[in-house]
Amino acid sequence: MTTIDRDSLVYRQFDAQSRERIRALVTPEIIAEHAADPNGMHSDALQRVLAYFRRGLIAGKYIVVAAEPFSAYLIGMLNGDRGTPITVLDNVYPSEKDVLHAIFLRRLNDIGALP
């Protein structure tokens, strides 16, 4: 007899529905708004997209890694296992604003929402 984790099943269904709604909100204007000010006051649509990215599982989340504060930033990825080092991904970014927008674009790509 196989045991079904119903919580996990419901979460996956909810997440799939949420992802579809988020994809519909992503436009070139939303991407430009985020590029202009990743930490600023945002439109309702962008706030909804960012809220979607903030929830969910820890494993696979992207984070900012300050290689040299105020001048060199990297993207890291959490693996979800306590005590295990993060995975540092790619390019060096010159500002926190640039790395935050790069993470945003990577997250959009991961859910298939880049126009």
> From the CB of residue 78, how many other CB atoms can be counted at a distance below 10 Å?
15
Q: Do 44 and 22 contact (CB within 8 A), yes or no?
A: no
Contacts of 77 (CB under 8 A, 6+ apart): 60, 61, 62, 63, 86, 87, 89
How much is the pLDDT for 1? 61
For residue 46, give both structure tokens: 């962008």
Sheet with strand 87-88: strands edge to edge: 62-68, 72-77, 87-88
pLDDT tens digits, one per residue of 73-114: 999 999 888 888 999 997 999 999 999 999 999 999 999 998
- Could you give the percent of the chain with pLDDT greater than 70? 97
This prediction's pTM: 0.87
pLDDT tens digits, one per residue of 56-74: 778 889 999 999 989 999 9
Average pLDDT value over all residues in the chain: 91
Q: What do you get for the CA distance between the two ends of the chain, in Å?
A: 44
Q: Give the residue extent of every domain in the chain.
A: 6-110
